[in-house]
Amino acid sequence: MELKIFQVGKNAYHVRSTDESKSMLSRYGILKGQDVPVADSAYIRIVGDSVVFGVKREVTFSLKEYKDGYSIKVQLSDKERLFGLGDSNRERLMIRGMRIALNKENVRCYGPMPILLSSDGWALFVNTTYRSVFDLGYTNSDEMSICVLGGQSDIYLFKSDTLLGLTTSITEITGRPILLPKFAYGLTVVNNERINDAQLLEYTRLYREMGIPCDCMGLEPYWMSKNYDFSVDKKWNDEKFYIPYWKPSNTSDSGTFFHNLRRMGMQLSLWLCEDYDVIYNEENAHPYVENYEFAEDAEILDVHLGQSAIYQDKITKIGERWFEHLKKFVDNGAAAFKLDASNQVLAHPDRLWGGRFHDNEVHNVYPVLLAKDMAEGHKEYNGRRLMINTSCAYVGTQQYAATWAGDTGGGPKTLVSVMNYAMCGHSNSGCDIDVTNLQSMHYGFLMPWTQQNNWSYWNYPWYLGEELKEIYKSYSLMRSSLFPYLYYTSFIAHRDGVPMLRPLPLVYSDTDKFDNVKNAYMLGDSLFVGVFDMNLTLPEGEWIDYFTGESIVGGRSIKYIPPERIGGALFVKSGAIIVTMTPQRYLTEREHEYVINLYPSSESGSTAIYEDDGYTYDYQQGGYALTEITSSGIRNSELMLTVGERKGSFSGRRDNGHDIINNSIPEIRGISDLGDVKVVAHGKIPKSITLREEDVPFAVHGEKCEFIVKAEQRASGSLNYVLRF
Residue 37 domain flag: yes
Residue 361 domain flag: yes
Contact (CB, 8 A) for 214 and 266? yes
Residue 454's closest CA among 425, 438, 433? 433
Contact (CB, 8 A) for 526 and 549? no
In the chain, which residues have pLDDT < 70? 286-295, 301-311, 655-666
Q: Report residue 710 CA to chain centroid gap.
A: 35
Helix (H) or strand (E) holding 36, with range, is: strand 36-37
CA distances to 220, 452, 458, 598, 698 from 705, rounded to whole Å, are 47, 36, 43, 10, 7
Residue 121 domain flag: yes
Q: Which domain holds residue 112?
A: 4-174
Q: Are residues 550 and 469 in the same domain?
A: no
CATH of the domain at 407: 3.20.20.80
Distance CA 417, CA 424 (A): 11
- What pLDDT is stored for residue 535 in this prediction? 98
- Check residue 201 and report its DSSP letter: H
Q: Are residues 10 and 100 in the same domain?
A: yes
Distance CA 472, CA 467 (A): 9
The three-point CA angle 521-507-166 to 5° equals: 125
Q: Are residues 482 and 511 in the same domain?
A: no
Contact (CB, 8 A) for 214 and 189? yes
Last residue of a domain, one of 524, 549, 571: 571
The number of domains in the chain is 4
Q: Are residues 614 and 714 in the same domain?
A: yes
Cα maximum dimension of the chain: 103
Q: Which residues contact 588 (CB under 8 A, 6 or more apart)?
A: 182, 183, 265, 614, 669
Q: Are residues 474 and 509 in the same domain?
A: no
What's the pTM? 0.95
Question: Which stretches within 210-326 are classed as H helix?
Answer: 257-263, 279-283
CATH of the domain at 162: 2.60.40.1760
Residue 472 domain flag: yes
Distance CA 294, CA 634 (A): 88
Residue 381's closest CA among 658, 663, 668? 658
Last residue of a domain, one of 174, 206, 221: 174
- What pLDDT is stored for residue 309 in this prediction? 59
- What pLDDT is stored for residue 21 in this prediction? 79
Contact (CB, 8 A) for 599 and 495? no
Distance CA 94, CA 233 (A): 46
Q: Are residues 30 and 89 in the same domain?
A: yes
Q: Which residues contact 698 (CB under 8 A, 6 or more apart)?
A: 686, 689, 705, 706, 707
Residues belonging to the chain? 725
Residue 78 domain flag: yes
CATH of the domain at 539: 2.60.40.1180
Q: Residue 70 carries which side chain, given as an amino acid letter?
A: Y
- Check residue 109 and report its DSSP letter: B
Q: Are residues 517 and 656 in the same domain?
A: no
- Check residue 305 and report its DSSP letter: G
Q: Are residues 134 and 118 in the same domain?
A: yes
Last residue of a domain, one of 174, 205, 228: 174
Residue 584 domain flag: no
Q: Are residues 485 and 622 in the same domain?
A: no
Residue 588 domain flag: no
Contact (CB, 8 A) for 67 and 307? no
Distance CA 644, CA 719 (A): 6
Distance CA 114, CA 104 (A): 12
Contact (CB, 8 A) for 448 and 428? yes
Distance CA 323, CA 386 (A): 11
Residue 512's closest CA among 78, 94, 56? 94
Q: Are residues 330 and 210 in the same domain?
A: yes
Residue 114 domain flag: yes
Q: Are residues 78 and 46 in the same domain?
A: yes
Is 155 exposed, middle or buried, given 0-12, 13-18 or 19+ CB atoms closer than 10 A?
Answer: buried
- What pLDDT is stored for residue 657 in this prediction? 47
- What pLDDT is stored for residue 353 in this prediction? 94
Q: Are residues 658 and 612 in the same domain?
A: yes
DSSP string for residues in 155-208: EEEEE-SSHHHHHHHHHHHH-PPP---GGGGSEEEEPPTT--HHHHHHHHHHHH
